[in-house]
């Protein structure tokens, strides 16, 4: 081993050369790139396998995806103070409202997108545009239970003893509990009636779940009914679980997942190209298939295997003002913990 | 003793020269940068009053420690660790005795069975326990089929179910140190005890148990620290009605975005674990002196 003496100086020279190489511009293999934050899991997989190739094909732009939960996206963008580590956000209405409050978005111009005219009214604004819709209602096992009609059915037999409750941690849990409150006389900001019902239900309900354990508990028959979104229903159904979605008569709930351009983003034009690609009918039709089972926002997509026939049905569903919910949510989460804890 | 003296002498010379300090410094630097610094950062974050980290103050600490709910969460977390240590101890001692009394071939087989839980991923283990404990799971199906129970027993999402699952998952952490120490016990000591007329039980309690205490203390420390922080098992098997410190940290940091409060819970969890470990160590030292 003496033929190749390695002394400190040589190592330093080598390391310096490596460092310099890293600083050189990499050979341009594409027209550029865009970095987008994406939810870990289903979203990450779906966007990696469907949106990234579509963007590459359409605009020759490389899509780099950074898997981050909503809270991390906001924390990172805020910590970066105007030099965000990614060009685009993906957010649910709650985090979207707090990001707007903190001024984390570049002003969004829907007219720069070829597909902006394809989304329903109200799905695009000066902050961003919706790429996915979620519908929240009641999931139940049709082999064990008759079809539930109302939110109130959840808290009466035969449903109550098969009911799985979740708290305010998720968007679907929060909006469901708000609608349950309204069925019992509450409002968007008064969820007291839901707490009363949950408290009464505790001795009989099948489970108080963490959202992450919902699919497993449903699959194993620990619970046969719960409030959740259509994505959960579709992915369980695809695995052969007996599960169906029911619209409560008070009205199902809908909310949108939106893409936004980060303030101070490096690749604004490419970010628009990315969002346009994610909105294209071709991409959205693929995202609609299991396992991602995302409800499209592009009206040109022919809906299949979804609980709705047309996107027009969404306009009749309940929506919520998250700028009012956000300030109250931390308190609700804590209160739920306290009410259900043994 | 001569060999011990021979190794001690160069070591003390090395200490005078400060050699071992320099040898340890790379690791010390890594620890300082990637362990001590983040820990101090965590502590610093806990002393902010607001979620945007602008106002310094102790209000998060006051809120945490004046709210009976969070005090009970600390209590539940400590209790979970203690009960799991107790359960693994009761089950581990007989198994360790059987192991030490077995032939080499049997020992190999036992060892494989013992470390099996460590070889499966936490997701598989946790899901397997859902399958076993659920309303339509293995246990309930068996009980119903045998006519031992008319309705399915609630096992999943109960403290009993959680302790059962944690006991299985943490068993190797108790057994391995226990077996290691037990094997070093001189068989002549046991023969002496027997020859002096002590019963098997007396031999166990007065000879084997005290001599294997160091292994038990090491095992208990691992089991306690691991079960108290077992976030996935606690949330998935324990469910929403059993709130432990790890789930408070997760909720406050990932859902509520209240990082100062999450930091208070995290520091509290750290202190809770250290407290438990310290208590076990003191217990071991106390019995060792007797």
What is the value of ipTM here, to two decimals?
0.80
- State the CB neighbour count (10 A cutoff) for residue B204: 17
Q: What is the DSSP letter of B18?
A: T
Closest Cα in chain B, distance from residue A91 (Å): 13
Task: Summarize pLDDT for B221-254 with one digit per residue, the tens.
Answer: 999 999 999 998 998 898 888 999 999 999 898 8
- Residue whose C-alpha is closest to residue A235's, from A165, A168, A294, A173: A294
Peptide bond into B149 cis (omega under 30): no
The DSSP-derived string for A115-163 is TGGGSPTTSB-SSEEEEEEEEEEEEE-TTTSPPP-SGGGGGSTTTGGGE
What pLDDT is stored for residue A30 in this prediction?
55
Asked whether residue B105 carries a pLDDT value surpassing 60, the answer given is yes
pLDDT at residue A4 tops 50: no
CB-CB: which of B73, B134, B239 is closest to A210?
B239
Query: What's the pLDDT tens digit per position in A122-144?
Result: 899 999 999 999 999 999 999 99
CB contact under 8 A, B130 and A216: yes
For residue B21, name the pLDDT band (cuts at 50, 70, 90).
confident
Tell me whether residues A221 and B136 touch, CB distance under 8 A: yes
Decide if pLDDT at A328 tops 60: yes
Q: Averaged over B30-53, what is the pLDDT? A: 91
Rounded Cα–Cα distance for residues B138 and B141 (Å): 5
pLDDT at position B255 over 90: no
Among the listed ranges A11-15, A139-143, A177-181, B159-163, which one has the minimum average pLDDT value? A11-15
Q: Model confidence at B18, in pLDDT bands (50, 70, 90)?
A: low
Please name each of the domains of chain B with its CATH number.
57-289 (1.10.3720.10)
pLDDT band, residue B17 (cuts 50/70/90) = low
Entry pTM: 0.83
As a whole-number percent, the residues of chain B with pLDDT over 90 amount to: 53
Which chain B residue has the Cα nearest residue A68? Answer: B254
Q: At what angle do helices B159-183 and B213-228 cross, to 10 degrees?
A: 150
- In chain B, what percentage of residues exceed pLDDT 70? 92
* CA A195 – CA A187 distance, rounded (Å): 13
CB-CB neighbours of B193 under 10 Å? 18
Write out pLDDT tens, residues B182-214. Answer: 999 988 988 898 889 888 889 888 889 888 999
CB-closest option in A69, A165, A212 to B236:
A212
Mean pLDDT of B37-53: 91
Mutate to test the interface with A, among B52, B239, B244, B258 (most CBs of A within 10 A): B239
The whole-angstrom separation of Cα A173 and Cα A228 is: 7
User: Which among B131, B240, B247 has the least Cβ separation from residue A166?
Assistant: B240
Tokens representing residue A135 in the block: 């519908």
Tell me the per-residue pLDDT of A198-257, one tens digit each, with 9 for 90 and over. 999 999 999 999 888 888 899 989 999 999 998 889 888 888 999 999 999 999 999 999
How far is B65 from chain A, CA to nearest CA, in Å?
A: 15
Strands A88-91, A244-246: pairing is unpaired
Phi and psi at A226, nearest 5°, equal: -165, 165
A246: tokens are 């029911």
Question: What is the rounded distance in angstroms from the CA atom of residue B126 to the CA atom of residue B169?
Answer: 9
Residue B267 has pLDDT above 90, yes or no: yes
DSSP structural state of residue B186: -
Average pLDDT over chain A, rounded to whole?
88
């Amino acid at each position: 081993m003496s033929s190749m003496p390695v002394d400190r100086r040589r190592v330093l020279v080598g390391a310096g050369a490596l460092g310099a190489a890293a600083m050189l511009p990499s050979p341009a293999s594409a027209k550029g790139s865009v970095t987008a934050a994406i939810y870990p899991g289903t979203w990450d997989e779906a966007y990696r396998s469907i949106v990234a190739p579509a963007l590459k094909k359409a605009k020759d732009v490389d899509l780099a995806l950074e898997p981050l939960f909503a809270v991390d996206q906001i924390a990172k963008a805020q910590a970066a103070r105007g030099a965000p580590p990614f060009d685009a956000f993906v957010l649910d209405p709650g985090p979207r409202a707090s990001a707007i409050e903190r001024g984390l978005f570049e002003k969004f111009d829907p007219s720069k997108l070829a597909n902006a005219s394809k989304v329903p009214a109200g799905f695009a604004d000066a902050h961003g545009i919706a790429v996915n819709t979620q519908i929240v209602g009641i999931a139940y096992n049709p082999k064990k239970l008759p079809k539930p009609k109302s939110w109130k059915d959840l808290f009466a037999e035969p449903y109550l003893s098969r009911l799985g409750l979740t708290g305010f941690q998720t968007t679907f849990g929060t909006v469901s509990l708000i609608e349950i409150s309204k069925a019992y006389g509450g409002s968007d900001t008064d969820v007291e009636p839901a707490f009363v019902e949950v408290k009464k239900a505790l001795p009989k309900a099948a489970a108080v779940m963490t959202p992450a354990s919902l699919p497993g508990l449903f699959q194993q028959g620990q619970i046969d009914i719960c409030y959740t979104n259509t994505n959960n229903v579709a992915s369980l159904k695809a695995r052969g679980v007996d599960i169906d979605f029911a619209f409560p008569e008070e009205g199902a709930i809908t909310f949108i997942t939106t893409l936004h351009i980060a303030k101070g983003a490096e690749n604004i034009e490419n970010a628009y190209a990315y969002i346009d690609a994610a909105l294209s009918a071709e991409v959205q039709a693929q995202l609609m298939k299991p396992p991602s089972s995302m409800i499209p926002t592009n009206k040109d997509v022919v809906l299949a295997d979804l609980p709705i026939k047309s996107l027009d049905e969404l306009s009749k569903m309940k929506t919520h003002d998250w700028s009012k919910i956000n300030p109250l949510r931390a308190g609700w989460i804590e209160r739920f913990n306290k009410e259900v804890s043994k | 003793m001569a060999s011990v003296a021979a190794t001690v002498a160069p070591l003390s010379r090395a200490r005078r020269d400060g050699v071992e300090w320099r040898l340890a410094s790379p690791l010390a630097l890594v620890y300082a940068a990637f362990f001590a610094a983040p820990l101090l950062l965590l502590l610093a974050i806990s002393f902010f009053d607001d979620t945007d980290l602008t106002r310094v103050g102790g209000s998060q600490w006051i809120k945490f420690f004046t709210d009976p709910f969070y005090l009970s969460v600390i209590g539940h977390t400590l209790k979970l660790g203690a009960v799991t240590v107790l359960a693994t101890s009761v089950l581990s001692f007989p198994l360790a005795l059987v192991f030490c009394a077995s032939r080499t071939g049997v020992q190999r087989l036992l060892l494989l069975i013992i470390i099996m839980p460590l070889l499966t991923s936490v997701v598989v283990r946790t899901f397997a326990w859902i399958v076993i404990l659920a309303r339509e799971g293995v246990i309930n199906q068996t009980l119903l089929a045998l006519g031992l129970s008319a309705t399915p027993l609630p096992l999943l999402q109960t403290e009993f179910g959680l302790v059962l699952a944690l006991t299985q998952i943490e068993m190797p952490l108790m057994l391995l140190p226990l077996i290691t120490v037990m094997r070093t016990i001189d068989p002549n000591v046991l023969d002496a005890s027997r020859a002096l007329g002590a019963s098997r039980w007396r031999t166990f309690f007065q000879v084997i148990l005290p001599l294997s205490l160091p292994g038990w203390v090491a095992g208990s420390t691992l089991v306690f620290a691991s079960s108290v922080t077992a976030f996935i098992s606690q949330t998935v098997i324990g469910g929403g009605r059993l709130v432990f410190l790890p789930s408070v940290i997760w909720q406050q940091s990932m859902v509520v975005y209240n990082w100062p409060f999450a930091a208070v819970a995290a520091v509290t969890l750290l202190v809770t674990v250290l407290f438990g470990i310290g208590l076990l160590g003191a217990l071991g030292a106390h019995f060792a002196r007797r």
